[in-house]
Structure formats: C-alpha cells, structure tokens
Amino acid sequence: MSSTDNPRLRIAIQKSGRLSDESQSLFKRCGLKINLADRKLLAHVANMPIELMLVRSSDIPGLVMDGVCDLGIVGDNTLEEHALERQLMGESADFNKVCSLKFGGCRLSIALPEEVDYQGISSLDGLRIATTYPRLLNRFGDQHGIKFELCKLNGSVEVAPRVGLADGICDLVSTGTTLEANGLKEVEQIYTSKAALIQAKHPLTEQKQQTLNTLLPRIQGVLKARESKYIMLHAPKDKLHDVVALMPGSETPTVLPLAERDDRVAVHVVSTETFFWETMEQLKELGCNSILVMPIEKMMG
Ligand code: PRT
C-alpha cells in the first residue's frame, strides 16, 4: 500500500543505531503507544492513526522523497548527502524540513594522522580521503578550490589511514574518542548535523493532516520541555529585579508571599535555557535560598 492510500500517517525512523532510541522516545513522550514487540518493518501506534516504518537511516531520505513515507527522522548529514547525490543524478530531491530535533548532534570532519604537520586547507589538495560522505566532501573541496582522491567506505572509516588505504578520513565526530583512539586529529570541520523531522512533498489526506496537526504541537512541546527547567526559590524582596535578571530565558515570574516573612518572597519561573551551577551560586550570593531546579515533562501554550 502506498503512503497516499494508507489511512495511517507513515513515519520512517531508524530501526537500530544512534537515532533509534531517541526517535522512539520522542514519540512515546508525545503520548504514542507504539507496539514494537515483534520488531516488524511496520509498527502500529495503538492510540493514533500512525505507523512507524523501522528502516536503515540511509534509506529514510529516499523513502520520504519518493513518497513511500509521509515523514521521517534522519540526520542532516544523511539527508544532505542523499539530496546531493540525487541532484547529481538529475533526480528530484524534494522534501520539507519540518524541524530540527535537538538530538543526534555531530560534525562531519576531515581528520589526518596525528604526526602530519597540517598547513591549512590547501595542503589537503590531492589527498586520498576515505569517507561515507563523498558528495559532502566534494562540495567542501569545490568551495575551497581543492580536489580529493576519494575512497568510499561504508564503515570502519577511521582505520583507513592505518592500513594504508587513505591519507586521511572524513567522518562523523561527536566526542572525538574514536579519532583519538585511531591516532587521528581533526583538521577541518565541514558540516554540522542534528536529527531532523522531514516531510514528503505530496499533499496529505484530510485525516492524515489532522493527525499531523495533533502530533506537531506535541513534538514542539516535548522539545521545548526538554530544554526548559522549572525553578523555585526564596529571594529577598528588595533583590527581586536582580534575581529575575539572572535567570536565562525566564518568562514572567510568579511571585508569592512567604508565611511570616515580609522581607522575602517565593519566586517560580520557567527558564527556557540551560541553567548552570554558576547561576545558582550567583543567586545564592544575592541572598536566595531553597533553590530548586526541576525538569519539565511536557509544555503547551
Ligand atoms: O541506519 P544506518 O546503518 O543506515 O546508518 P548509520 O550507519 O549512519 O547509523 P548510525 O547509528 O551509526 O548513525 C546514525 C546517525 O547518527 C548518523 O547519520 C548521524 O546523523 C548521527 N550521529 C551522531 C552519529 C554520530 N553522532 C557518531 N558519532 N553517527 C555516527 N557516529 C560515529 C562516527 O561515524 C564514528 O565512527 O561514531 C564514531 C565517532 O564517535 P566519537 O564519539 O568517538 O567522536
């Protein structure tokens, strides 16, 4: 059944790998009851007309661009590489990026053996580079007027220089541990990526559109809640202005009286930015106490 005849909104997610747990957890936090027990290709959602297609990450851009799936979650890196490849083949690469999902963050970088004396981008000209991302690497080369000799690998890219297959690599990096463990150093960052929710260009049926209209605000609510904190503290009344100014991204605070204390108040705020220990220490210096920072599960409105 093609996606357009199917009453269920079909969303492609990675079956197993770095994006699969976060993708499933996002939908679960949106209230979807996903039946994953049998690990089939399609997992129905029990309480909404949605089905998840569990596939390899690298298949997701094509499934969405060809209209087999209505939506998909995939890394920008995979998406961009696939789109570039299609454009070079003269095929259409249509999709809409609905939103960035704030997980799966990484960078695509060129790395060389530690002992190489790196002299800048021009010294990369003519090097043999092993990569899973030849299109993104070539685009970087074109932008800087350099040419690479490419060695396309789909895995274990980081061992290529050690076994004499390439002079360097162009691969995804998150912590840098893999590069270090393989005696490589990052010399150029060519692309940064996060997981994204993408949508096919085909028009949705009214029923699917309604489902999407319910789902999207929930996704936004989960993403916003993930970054936000609910902060409660007791503050000296005469320092209220300074106290509120210290809390990043806070909406209008709720200020409540404290029993038997005319000089102090309770302050409650939702802060939409990262709340650092340093801020807590500064609040304490202003005379605040009972400072509580709590995670928020869901947000709407
Ligand atoms: O599903 P399929 O097999 O087609 O895809 P895949 O092989 O790309 O799957 P997977 O699970 O490895 O990666 C899925 C997506 O996760 C990627 O396309 C990125 O968008 C994202 N992502 C985020 C990463 C990393 N971080 C990452 N660190 N993907 C891969 N890595 C690898 C990298 O290739 C290297 O081997 O992790 C190693 C480096 O990690 P650090 O922490 O040592 O720097």
Q: How far is the CA of 172 from the centre of ligand 1 (A)?
A: 6
E-strand spans in the chain?
A: 9-14, 42-44, 50-55, 71-75, 96-100, 106-113, 128-131, 149-152, 168-173, 184-193, 195-199, 229-236, 254-258, 261-271, 289-295
Handedness of CA 256, 258, 261, 265 (dihedral sign): negative
218 pLDDT exceeds 60?
A: yes
For residue 202, what are the β-bridge partners? none
Structure tokens at 293: 């920072």
Residue bearing tokens 């070539």: 138
State if residue 154 touches ligand 1 by the CB under 6 angstroms criterion: no
Looking from the CA of residue 105, the nearest atom of ligand 1 is 23
Q: Is 56 in the pocket of ligand 1 (CB under 6 A)?
A: yes
Determine the pLDDT at residue 222: 93
- With a cut of 90, say whether residue 87 has pLDDT above it: yes
CA distance 218 to 300: 8
Cα-based angle 269, 272, 222 (whole degrees, multiple of 5): 110
Worst-scoring range by mean pLDDT, 207-211, 225-229, 238-242? 225-229
Residue 49, amino acid: P
pLDDT (tens digit per residue) in 96-117: 999 999 899 999 999 999 999 9
For the Cβ of 131 lying below 6 angstroms from any atom of ligand 1, the answer is no
Are 253 and 228 spatial neighbours (Cβ–Cβ below 8 Å)?
no
Distance 145 CA to ligand 1 centre (A): 28
Q: What's the pLDDT tens digit per position in 152-173?
A: 999 999 999 999 999 999 999 9
- Beta bridge partners, 236, equal 264
Average pLDDT for 131-149? 97
* Sheet with strand 195-199: strands edge to edge: 42-44, 50-55, 9-14, 71-75, 195-199, 96-100
pLDDT at 250: 67
Residue where the block lists tokens 């039946």: 35
Whether 18 is in the pocket of ligand 1, judged by its Cβ within 6 Å, is yes
Q: Is 171 in the pocket of ligand 1 (CB under 6 A)?
A: yes
With residue 215 as reference, give the H or E element that holds it.
helix 206-227
For residue 76, the ligand 1 atom closest to its alpha carbon is 20
Q: Which atom of ligand 1 is nearest to the CA of 58?
A: 4
**The whole model's pTM is what?**
0.89
> What are 10-63's pLDDT values in tens digits?
999 999 999 999 999 999 999 999 987 666 889 999 999 999 999 999 999 999
Per-residue model confidence (pLDDT) at position 39: 64
Return the structure tokens found at 115.
């002992």
Closest ligand 1 atom number to CA of residue 193: 20
For the chain, what is the mean pLDDT?
93
Distance 165 CA to ligand 1 centre (A): 21
CB–CB of 118/184 below 8 Å? no
Considering the chain, what percentage of its residues have pLDDT values greater than 70? 96
